[in-house]
Amino acid sequence: METPKINLNLNEELFRKYWRVLKLARFPKRDEYTKIALVAAAGVLIVGMIGFIVYLLFVYLPK
């Protein structure tokens, strides 16, 4: 019967860690959110452009 005790302690410890993070968390302000959204959009565009260039290379180089 020792296993459930260890599992309970582990779950309780994880809950405390998550609760501490949630207490420190806050919603971003509008300017922070805008900056994060712009950086994410730029990353998506860059990855998309790289993928498109690779696609073009694979389509036109074999010919």
Residue 21 in tokens: 């993070």
> Residue 21: which domain range?
2-60
Question: Torsion angle, CA of 15/18/22/27, rounded to 10 degrees?
Answer: -140
**What is the tens place of the pLDDT at every residue in 1-45?**
555 555 667 788 888 888 998 999 888 899 999 999 999 999 999
Please tell me the total count of domains within the chain: 1
Residues 6+ apart with CB under 8 A from 63: none
Residue 20 in tokens: 């501490």
Is the full-model pTM beyond 0.75? no
DSSP structure class, residue 28? P
